[in-house]
Amino acid sequence: MRMRPTLHWTPPEDLPPGTTDPGPVIDALSAGGVLVLSGAGISTQSGIPDYRGEGGSLSRHTPMTYQDFTASAQARRRYWARSHLGWRVFGRARPNVGHRAVAAFGQHGLLSGMITQNVDGLHQAAGSEGVVELHGSLGRVVCLSCGALSPRRELARRLEEANAGFAPVAAGINPDGDADLTDEQVGDFRVVPCTICGGILKPDVVFFGEAVPPQRVEHSRELVRAAASMLVLGSSLTVMSGLRFVRQAARAGTPVLIMNRDPTRGDAHALTRVALPLSTALTTVADRLGIPVDDQTVT
């Protein structure tokens, strides 16, 4: 199934209002069997901006599409220059208290599974296990010709060697690890090929306009079918890749709860939306459940 490149969504006026009461979330977690679906909003406190929240990156940045990346060598040069610079910041990001709270819920047996739309790997770094990376991971690189996977850190080393002295000042960084650079700053940045076959390298993430692997979608659907409830954290659910699971849960009568400050495209399918800062809300939930959350960043 191809991911729709929906960049913007305008909430209708008849959406139910959000609440500041985390009680329903606490009740759901107390009962166990909760499937978590997380989005970019949980990583903002780690220094990674979201797409659509206040000051979100879509106000200044249009993400690379799969079609542009595969069709144009210049587009790939621009992408890798921006992504290489962004990786220097993105790769140093560490989990925040929200990631650690979710990991603690899992370690206490309250979760049935976890799906993330994020590509930053911070849930795993916080200690969450069995995370389905719906959109892949920036920590891996894939060759579009031979399919070989390799660590991003190895590509970063090769790009450093091929572009000695490349250190422009970016205007900002985006949730996909792409730094804001002008074409002049990109200049004649050198892109390196696959070391095995000489093919085109791409981060192992699902670009806008690209299909989420079918087996990953089906695995996620199985998790939805098995869940007692679904908890959405920090996602606007604007793109269908995440919204479809919320709709699936609602059709099956599985309770959906959302924690997001702003209205989401899934609100009409949810029992409640807790409109509080996410890290604060998750800390409150953990405290009310008597679950300690490590206050130190996990490396």
Q: At what angle do helices 73-90 and 152-162 cross, to 10 degrees?
A: 110
Longest dimension (CA), the chain: 57
- Does 41 show up as a binding residue in the annotation? yes
* 53: nearest Cα among 237, 182, 231: 237
- Does 146 show up as a binding residue in the annotation? yes
The pair of structure tokens assigned to 44 is 């903002």
- Does 42 show up as a binding residue in the annotation? yes
- Does 30 show up as a binding residue in the annotation? no
Cβ contact 118:135 at 8 Å: yes
- Does 74 show up as a binding residue in the annotation? no
- Does 51 show up as a binding residue in the annotation? yes
- Does 238 show up as a binding residue in the annotation? no
- Helix (H) or strand (E) holding 75, with range, is helix 73-90
- Does 194 show up as a binding residue in the annotation? yes
Q: How many CA atoms lie within 13 A of 88 on its CB side?
A: 15
Exactly one of 61, 99, 123, 135 is catalytic; name it: 135
- Does 50 show up as a binding residue in the annotation? yes
Is 135 known to be catalytic? yes
- Does 196 show up as a binding residue in the annotation? no
- Other beta carbons within 10 angstroms of residue 238's beta carbon come to 20
- Does 97 show up as a binding residue in the annotation? no
Q: Is 262 exposed, middle or buried (0-12, 13-18, 19+ CB in 10 A)?
A: middle
- Does 150 show up as a binding residue in the annotation? no
In degrees to the nearest 10, what's the CA dihedral of 20, 8, 209, 198? -90
CA distances from 67 to 57, 70, 117, 144, 187 (A): 21, 5, 20, 13, 22
- Does 54 show up as a binding residue in the annotation? yes
- Does 236 show up as a binding residue in the annotation? yes
End-to-end CA distance of the chain: 35
Cβ contact 36:102 at 8 Å: yes
- Does 43 show up as a binding residue in the annotation? yes
Q: Residues at the annotated binding site for Zn(2+)?
A: 143, 146, 194, 197
Active site residues: 135
